[in-house]
Amino acid sequence: MSNKVLIAVVGPTAIGKTALGILLAQHFDTDILSADSRQFFKEMKIGTAVPSPEELKAVQHHFIQHKSIFEPYSVGDFEKDALKLLDTLFQKKDIAVMVGGSGLYVDAVISGLDEFPEVDPKIRESLNQELEEKGLEHLQKELKFRDPQYYKRVDLDNPHRLIRALEVSISANRPYSSFLSQNRPERPFKHLYMGIDAPREVIYGRINARVDQMMEAGLLEEAQRLPPHKNLNALQTVGYKELFEYLDGHCSLDVAVSEIKKNTRRFAKRQLTWLRKNDNILWVDHKTNTKQILKKLNEHLKALNHAQR
């Protein structure tokens, strides 16, 4: 068994994953892989809380603003790119750090993805058009009809998940759920999840403060450059959708900002729901000091190496 280890820093949005990731990467003299599916895109800097220039200089980061919103980039593409990079990193390093709030992307690198059939792009375009013209509830009803099993599991407020399940179901003429939980590949490295947690009121307070900071940093101006492309998948993202509503004259700016905060809090709740399903996460409180974190982590790394010899 390989002695290479990928440490995945996870947790709800605004909890401090970037800071902890940098701390660990500096301690182990290694690189960071970003697994935030929206920080990939160059046009979405402020609204996705991309690490600051100082943070990016502190440690070598990968998969930060390396794509354009006009380029299709799936979780499968990320999985392949991340594994290729890890293969290179592990030739020189024993440990790599992955940071991100996109649970599906983190799990894809660690555990692999289920295999799905090719999807006709026209089906995806049609579903996106249905979302725009008929709304989210229409897609929810369609999924309930085509795949009642997955309907009970999926986050029904996430249009990306609904469209993905529907496009596969329609293309294959069988339920999306029938493709799940297949045999997954064994990775040539070990892994350890480290999660940051805090009381809900702390998480929500940090989210509200971050949204205010984003607005002060120019999120509205960033969004003003993007309305012609607002139907792109990448822009179906909290922070941008609400400001597009304001720019289209459907609400005031104060209401839009309030909606960003509310929807980000909902997103954090969904992130935690996803993470709570994973019994292998080493959780630390957001107030835990550096010395305690490293002590706890090193103990688990030793146990991991001992258990998998």
Same domain, 254 and 267: yes
- Same domain, residue pair 103 and 249: yes
Q: Which whole-number Å values give the CA distances from 200 to 13, 135, 182, 272, in the listed order?
A: 12, 30, 35, 10
Task: Read off the CATH number of the domain in which 162 is found.
Answer: 1.10.20.140
Give residue 181's identity as a one-letter amino acid code.
S
What is the average per-residue pLDDT within 38-48?
A: 95
Q: Which of 131, 155, 179 is the last residue of a domain?
A: 179
Q: Are residues 197 and 165 in the same domain?
A: no
Examine the fold and report which residue of 179, 194, 209 is the final residue of a domain before the chain moves on: 179
pLDDT tens digits, 82-101: 999 999 999 999 999 999 88
**Same domain, yes or no: 256 and 190:** yes
| DSSP percent split of the chain into helix, strand, coil, nearest 5 | 55, 10, 35
pTM of the model: 0.83
Q: Given this model, what pLDDT does residue 309 score?
A: 54
Q: Is residue 182 very low, low, confident or very high in pLDDT (cuts 50, 70, 90)?
A: low
Do 166 and 106 lie in one domain? The reply is no
Amino acid symbol at 108: A
Query: Which percentage of the chain shows pLDDT scores above 70?
Result: 97
Q: Are residues 142 and 200 in the same domain?
A: no
The pLDDT score that the predictor gives to residue 124 is 87
Q: Give the pLDDT score at 138.
A: 94
**Mean pLDDT, residues 156-185 taken together:** 85
Domain boundaries, position 280? 5-113+184-307
Q: Are residues 197 and 151 in the same domain?
A: no
Give the pLDDT confidence score for residue 5 in this predicted structure.
96
Helix (H) or strand (E) holding 9: strand 5-10
Over residues 39-64, mean pLDDT: 96
Residue 193 shares a structural domain with residue 134:
no
CA distance 260 to 255: 9
Domain count, the chain: 2
Domain boundary among 135, 157, 179: 179
213 and 172 co-located in one domain: no
**pLDDT tens digits along 256-295:** 999 999 999 999 998 998 898 889 999 999 999 999 999 9
Instruction: State the pLDDT confidence band at 3, using cuts at 50, 70 and 90.
Output: confident
What pLDDT shows up at residue 307? 64
Rounded average pLDDT over 222-249? 92
What's the confidence (pLDDT) of residue 42? 94
Computed over every residue of the chain, the mean pLDDT equals 92
Instruction: Tell me the CATH number at 82.
Output: 3.40.50.300
What is residue 167's three-state secondary structure?
helix
One domain for residues 11 and 38: yes
Contact 2, 91 (CB under 8 A): no
- Residue 99 backbone phi and psi in degrees, to 5: -130, 130
Please tell me the predicted confidence (pLDDT) of residue 183. 67
Q: Which residues neighbour 298 within 8 Å (Cβ) at sequence distance 6 or greater?
A: none
All residues at 6 or more sequence positions from 21 whose CB lies less than 8 Å from its CB, including other chains: 9, 32, 59, 97, 99
Residues 135 and 101 both lie in one domain: no
Instruction: Pick 184 or 58 by higher pLDDT.
Output: 58
- 98 and 196 part of one domain: yes
